[in-house]
Amino acid sequence: MSKKVLFVDDSASMRKVLGITLKKVGYDVETAEDGLEAVSLLDKHRFDVIVTDLNMPNMNGIEFIKSAKCHPNNKFAPIIMLTTESSEEMRQQGQDAGAKVWIVKPFRPDKLLDVLKKVVG
């Protein structure tokens, strides 16, 4: 059975490219364009891993992580932050919220795939 991934990013092109990349290697992918939309998906699905951007409208990545970590179906899902933000302060805020891994954009898709393999097998 394939691992279920939630990918949250306000960039339609990022959602499309990463969605295709992850599906090609066997992941079952759901996408959301911001944290609010992603929270609604948490009610419908249990995810093996969550990948989220930081800077998004309506609900940013850190707010979303805090919400996901309180959600009964997904509170134990590892969370990967995929963002252009590289400051140590923001990275610490992400870790404090519950992000397991922090990847700075631009990135190579194979790096994300390696991280996914490590966190979900």
CATH of residue 78: 3.40.50.2300
Closest to 85 (Cα-Cα) out of 103, 101, 60: 103
Residues 30-72: pLDDT tens digits?
999 999 999 999 989 999 999 999 999 999 999 999 999 999 9
**Total domains present in the chain:** 1
pTM of the model: 0.94
Q: Which domain holds residue 10?
A: 4-120
Which structure tokens are listed for 6?
Answer: 């939630």
Q: H helices within the chain, ranges in order?
A: 12-24, 35-42, 61-70, 88-97, 109-120
Residue 29, token pair as written in the block: 């992918």
